[in-house]
Chain A
Amino acid sequence: MARKVAIVGVGMQKFEFCKVETIEEMVFDVARNALEDARLSKDDIDAVVTGSAVDAFCGIVNSDKVATDGAGGFLKPTMRNSTSGSSAVSTPILGYNHVASGMYDIVMVICYEKMSENASAQAVFNTVYDEAYVRPIGLNVPIQCGLEARAYLHRYGLTERQMAKVSVKNRGNAISNPYAQLPMKLTVDDVMASPYLSWPVKLLDTSPVTDGARAVILASEDVARELTDSPVWIRGTGRGADSVWFMGRANPDLGRLDYAYLAARQAYEMAGIKDPAVEIDYAEVYDPFTFKEMQHCEALGLCPEGGAGRMIDEGVSWKDGALPVNASGGLQGEGNPIGAGMSRLNWCYLQIQGKAGDCQVSKDVNTAVCNAWGGMYQYNAVMVIGRD
């Protein structure tokens, strides 16, 4: 029987392009912030779990070793996790497993990425693709997302203007986020007028190249109840993978993310959530591209399948809407340091605690969901957190 696991502290820092700190210094900063938030010291930590996606960004292979000291991990059990972009949520899931299993009481989870140190993030991303078939024709992330976006819009009859509204919403929300890299006051016309990179994807549909880290401290029930009167529990976790052959899946339609539906179903079953659109109060949804937020809202059951266009049109996912999504600004507005997209989880926690500052939504938040996506358009990881 799995033990209950609570989040007892988070560590934040500003997301930026070209941070002056090294990875070690970035990790030290968020680890210390999380310890302060949890009122714990380094020696209280039993084990450390780190996560980042692509070492080629920083040019240090097996970069987890660099994170060890800054995370307070030396002479402790440590483990690095990597499921590409979905590391952002699969890493705290690994931390959860450490505590739920009964093996450790207090675990530090650190996610980091330093993308700016390579001159071309997209050239790095090209090396993610297989060497024989798709690397030679130049596939990279915005290009593959163009393929996927077109399939998605076509399948459900959605529009580029609806995609643009996600950019307006998230970059606007980021204006209230002191850690954000790209706060912008935009109109739909501004987004529509931004240059096409890989039609239908435009510049303002994408997220920036970002450096940054995030920390979360997890604790067993006994410890959590000693530390706080209002613990926030991890109520559900889920993961899903689809075939690395994105062009040869059981479902040939790239518009529907079967693996994300799978991950969400597991997390909701574990959390006992039957109708997420009603039972979830707040969501931080992985939005490296505007249409990914829309696809993920559908897979997470925050709106009906194919209903993400109406969701954004009708204001449901806006900050003052019935089910706010990415009031922090998301990856679009806060920045997208791939693994450190764990920030989605941090913001869910801050919203539930009422500590989200100017990003705090006006409605009560008791239950929140976050997700992350990665690999060859093939992984999703989902976490549901909430109060008792």
Chain B
Amino acid sequence: MSATIILINLASLVCLVIALIKDRRKAVKGLYVAAKTFIRILPVVFIIIILIGLLLGFVPKELIARIIGEQAGWDGLLGVALLGAVLHIPSLISYPLAGSLLQSGASVTAVAAFITTLTMIGMVTFPLEIKELGKKMAFLRNGLSFIVALLIALLMGVIL
């Protein structure tokens, strides 16, 4: 059991106690929302767990390293960033996947690019963004987010 797990469980417990003291009805509602979200996300969790197992078990490290490893070229990085932009995985679940990719030979840059575009850019929600905020803003935000994500990823590769 790692410190992070203990920390987050403690934090949630403290928040829950505070919430219960402050407003019991709201807190219960929050718990209900939590339970619902948990159930909703559970199948995806299992999918990702199985995929991680298969990924580490069957895909050779050399292959991952060749596509998105330290020595891999721009194609791999751009491909991973685009994949992150287009996919619609809950970001919570993407962290274990990213961690397993890192374990199996992917570079920090590629992994950072993947999770950053995954969280910042949503192709699925893009039409809605246009509708709510206007075309200019939506295009600018998503376009710049992509560039920024790549910059962050490259800088992380340099720093770490």
Q: Do they bind each other?
A: no
